[in-house]
Structure 1
Amino acid sequence: MSRNRAPIIFTAAFLLAVTYTFPALAAEKMLVAVATTKNAIEKYGNLPESAKTVPLSDQKLPPEIKTRCIASLMILKNALKLGGIDAQLNFMQAPNVRREEDGLLKGYAVVSSHLFNLSSIDQPKYKDKIYVSDPVINDGEFEKGVFCLPSNHKVMNARTIEDLKKAGKPLIGIHWSNECQTLNNLGIETIEKGPTIDCLFRMIKAGRADWIPLGFHNSKDLSVTRSGITLVPVKGIKFSLTESRHFIVSKEHPDGEKIFEALQKGIKIMREKGVIKKLLTQGGFYCRATKDWTILNSDSFLVDN
């Protein structure tokens, strides 16, 4: 009797262990409408299929995941898989992140690919239109450098806020509310704005502004190139953006609630396993090469938190 029962007990235990270790094995295949930008679509399309496979191991990540937009997309795709949805990403292209947000409010797409800072979405007009995920990036964890043309020696030699004020004018995206507030808090009030990241680079090249607060990339020299224009970071200084960042999910889309529940579940699993931190580091949200650089707004950050 016991000899007949033993294999059954072992098999049940084995299946339970496998299900727990790989919670996405029974994931539902689903076409997921993702609002994102042309740049993210192109970079995702250039990934080899091996780098798009989820769930991702917490031991080793595909080396091709090395930019912020791809890191965000892979956190999204991985979290959905762990939450029970095997997502085939169907992209809805938007010219910028704000239009990406508009597509969600109207239900054209179900989830964002980019991460939104809390103050930009904590507004009455969004209250009944979107779900907001748990933080993917916590307060103060997203750091940006001061990027300019290599030939701009005034900015390149800056080491303090006062140096930056004297060196030239900053430039940000028209919807970069967190960056705008950060600079304002540091006493920088004259700020140029542009509609897209490619436009920002062209504006710097044309001399309409002198520097941009940009996230770090994991290139060897930390440089960033867009539209054939290369900007480099001022060594030794950076900003800390003091707001958490989140995915947003459309309540107007018929799949909104299902996607939100899966995303929340997956984010929790990824954070517990340390996969989110590794993806954010590899994607440039956290940068090992700049970990000892001076945070220009460190005092205000400590006060806010």
Structure 2
Amino acid sequence: MSRNQATLIYAAVFLLAATYSFPASAAEKLIVAVSTTKNAVEKYDNLPESAKSVPLSYKHLPPEIKTRCVASLMILKNALKLGGIDAQLNFKQTPNARREEDELIKGYAVVSSHLFNLSSIEHLKYKDKIYVSDPVIEDGEFEKGIFCLPGNHKVLNVRTIEDLKKAGKPLIGIHWSNECQTLNDMGINEIEKGPTKDCLFRMLKAGRADWIPLGFHNSKDLSVTRHGITLVPVKGIKFSLTESRHFIVSKQHPEGEKVFNALQIGIKKMRQDGLIKKMLTQGGFYCKATKDWKILNSKNFLAKNR
């Protein structure tokens, strides 16, 4: 073998080594402080270890990922993995989503577990202290149903917005800005508010309001139960929220920029292969059972019912 041939072979081996010594699948192990609610932590902790393992597969998505809060957490964890961070989630519990934001702007946590609409994070208090991820849910994709107690036939018989206005008062969380704006746009302005979702269920049971706009769950009859209080949806109708939804990441936290960059890479990959849509569907953001229900605030439905 000539010296030139040996040099060429050595160069080729070196290039191969440089290419494959650090495979794309290798990810930096990192403890990631996540601000979230007690309910989300409990549901995540109840997952079997097999369902917490990432990266997730489109063809074999764990069936235990079936609620919105768990779907959000697993999208977060999976996106970080695809972006180069093998995250061990360290939860910072908060009573509601707004407190999640507060934990981030103080730098106590690095990323949210819930998905936020833009109007709730464009407040001056938050705007310059957080990174906002690319949309996980696009504008108009998140649909909610009209949920009430099983015996409330006035609400259960609603078919139009005018019916809904006459059926009683809605109840929403104090920080549900997108829901509030959407209901206002539908001409519903008298709205009761409560601090946490647990409180909302108790307030409805106590007669403080008549219905709650909730995301759909994958239970057999679409009912939702919290603390022994069961709510059911009005069959055949729903409405869509008018803003995209995003993860938010702290600029105050030392790992903020690294986590944000990894998250962006992962979200892009998951959207390209359809995994985000599949996880959101399985988690109840998109509900197959309500696919053909009428959207109350769609332009076509509004035009027909004026």
TM norm. shorter chain > 0.5: yes
CA distance in structure 2 between the partners assigned to 1:249 and 1:285 by the alignment:
22
1:84 alignment partner in structure 2: 84
- The change in CA–CA distance for 1:169 and 1:48 in structure 2 (over 3 A counts) is same
1:26 alignment partner in structure 2: 26
1:141 alignment partner in structure 2: 141
Give, as a single letter, the amino acid of the residue that structure 1 aligns with 2:146: V
- The CA deviation at 1:212 is 0.3
CA distance in structure 2 between the partners assigned to 1:289 and 1:246 by the alignment:
25
Conservation of the 8 A alpha-carbon contact between 1:143 and 1:285: yes
CA distance in structure 2 between the partners assigned to 1:225 and 1:121 by the alignment:
29
1:96 alignment partner in structure 2: 96
CA distance in structure 1 between the partners assigned to 2:26 and 2:55 by the alignment:
12
- The change in CA–CA distance for 1:236 and 1:301 in structure 2 (over 3 A counts) is closer
Conservation of the 8 A alpha-carbon contact between 2:69 and 2:114: yes
Conservation of the 8 A alpha-carbon contact between 1:112 and 1:247: yes
Larger Rg, first or second structure (1 or 2): 2
Conservation of the 8 A alpha-carbon contact between 2:145 and 2:239: yes
- The change in CA–CA distance for 1:97 and 1:301 in structure 2 (over 3 A counts) is farther
- The CA deviation at 1:12 is 4.6
> Aligned runs of 1:69-218 on 2, under 5 Å?
69-218=69-218
Q: Which SS does the other structure have where 2:219 is aligned? A: coil
- The change in CA–CA distance for 1:300 and 1:36 in structure 2 (over 3 A counts) is farther
> Aligned runs of 1:284-295 on 2, under 5 Å?
284-295=284-295
1:239 alignment partner in structure 2: 239
- The change in CA–CA distance for 1:240 and 1:171 in structure 2 (over 3 A counts) is same
- Give CA-to-partner distance per residue, 1:152-208, whole Å, 9 cap, x none: 000001111111111111000000000000110111000000000000000110011
Conservation of the 8 A alpha-carbon contact between 2:295 and 2:301: no
Give, as a single letter, the amino acid of the residue that structure 2 aligns with 1:250: S
Give, as a single letter, the amino acid of the residue that structure 2 aligns with 1:289: A
- The CA deviation at 1:69 is 0.2
CA distance in structure 2 between the partners assigned to 1:147 and 1:124 by the alignment:
33
- The CA deviation at 1:91 is 0.1
CA distance in structure 2 between the partners assigned to 1:126 and 1:168 by the alignment:
35
CA distance in structure 1 between the partners assigned to 2:79 and 2:162 by the alignment:
42
Conservation of the 8 A alpha-carbon contact between 2:32 and 2:88: yes
CA distance in structure 2 between the partners assigned to 1:103 and 1:150 by the alignment:
37
- The CA deviation at 1:301 is 10
Matching of residue 65 in structure 1 with residue 59 in structure 2? no
Aligned residues: 293
CA distance in structure 2 between the partners assigned to 1:60 and 1:190 by the alignment:
45
Conservation of the 8 A alpha-carbon contact between 1:30 and 1:86: yes
- The CA deviation at 1:122 is 1.8
1:265 alignment partner in structure 2: 265
Q: Which SS does the other structure have where 1:235 is aligned? A: coil
CA distance in structure 2 between the partners assigned to 1:136 and 1:247 by the alignment:
8
CA RMSD of aligned residues (A): 2.2
**Structure 1 runs not aligned, ≥5 long:** none
CA distance in structure 2 between the partners assigned to 1:165 and 1:75 by the alignment:
36
- The change in CA–CA distance for 1:171 and 1:43 in structure 2 (over 3 A counts) is same
1:276 alignment partner in structure 2: 276
CA distance in structure 1 between the partners assigned to 2:183 and 2:190 by the alignment:
9
- The CA deviation at 1:302 is 10
Conservation of the 8 A alpha-carbon contact between 1:217 and 1:223: yes
Overall identity of the aligned pairs, in %:
80
Runs of 4+ residues over 4 Å off in structure 1: 300-303
**Structure 2 runs not aligned, ≥5 long:** none
Conservation of the 8 A alpha-carbon contact between 1:242 and 1:301: no
CA distance in structure 1 between the partners assigned to 2:229 and 2:127 by the alignment:
39
TM-score of the two chains, using structure 1 as the length reference: 0.92
